[in-house]
A and B are shown apart, each in its own frame.
Chain A
Amino acid sequence: MSQHVVPKRVYFLVFASLIALTLLTTGVAFIDLGRINTVVALAIAVCKMLLVILFFMHVRYSSGLTKIVIVAAFFWLAILIALSLSDYLTRGWTPAPATWESSSSMLLHNPPSGETDLEVA
């Protein structure tokens, strides 16, 4: 049989790491680190994802073809999120012309009354 059999010890080690990372991410959430909190939470989630993909899903032992399909998927996901955010998060960077004033309520960094409004011009 050509399929790689991952030793059970590896599964238990990965499991212990995942539980430890879950405790870590839960604990860190209760410490005020400002914006770093989100970064830490997502970084830990990415680490957990990599552990699951590489070992539980056997991708570490998979062919190059399988690996490139997976990498392509995450690349596409990155495009989806990065391009969407590059629109929404930069809307406040440049002021809208006065004639567009009614549409400026969509602006992220220039909310009309403390919070943004969903009205689209």
Chain B
Amino acid sequence: MIEIFGISLQAMLSQLLLGLVNGSFYAMLSLGLAVIFGLLNVINMAHGAFYMMGAFLAWMGLNYFGLNYWVMLITAPLLAGVFGMVIEKTLLRWLYQLDHLYGLLLTFGITLMLEGLFRSFYGTSGQPYSVPELLAGATNLGFMMLPNYRAWVVVASLVVCFATWFAIEKTKLGAYLRAGTENPKLVEAFGINVPLMVTLTYGFGVALAAFAGVLAAPVIQVSPLMGSDLIIVVFAVVVIGGMGSIMGSIIIGLALGVIEGLTRVFYPELSATVVFIIMVIVLTLRPAGLFGKEK
């Protein structure tokens, strides 16, 4: 058995993988936050609640309608996305002319309502969701056992993250989006339907959060509070990375997940706070964030 600093390689690798899994969630959520913030100028506090909603939709689909994981992996983000678009159309729309803070407060209210709603039906205890059959079990890599599902989470979220990056940075639609971030009035003058673009962007960001939620359902227990604990860490991730760069969000998200995983091996007492400590260090040395451009 190989050991590093008295810790078996096996334990370290499995924590590393767990860190990567968490990092994938951070990456997907902070990516969605950044995209939404770019165009809407709203920090979507409800992002964690939508993540929770995604997980619950998957659970409800299975338990009430017998829809399996793969169906819900597509359906839940779509449903959540539509829900997000309705919220944007009916609620958020009225706040664009006001201070950013009102957007934050409104989405905070939405968070409380969604959490309270799910809590009134399911209580605070977690609901188990089993790993889909196709991905059950583990693969022996020789030096460690690789749980198939965790590997899938990392791969799936990486694919989604890079697809998003590609769509925004390399396609025509993405170009409109980036232009809309810079100067929405001018883009509108060129005949592009900016309000529609805003709605779709919000819907997409919400769908991304719900997708992460479905992926998370078999890894952690589905509970109404799973979102709010995560979203605060994601906020720290966003502060560390700055919201200026899509790729930055992805990399920082993954990196912090890994660092958190390693901390759990070497000094478990700090694992809950390490991301915040890094945030403090970054704020001291580079206030605008690692990838940020502050005006």
A and B: bona fide binding partners: no
- Which residues of A are at the interface with B, using a C-beta cutoff of 8 A? none
- Which residues of B are at the interface with A, using a C-beta cutoff of 8 A? none
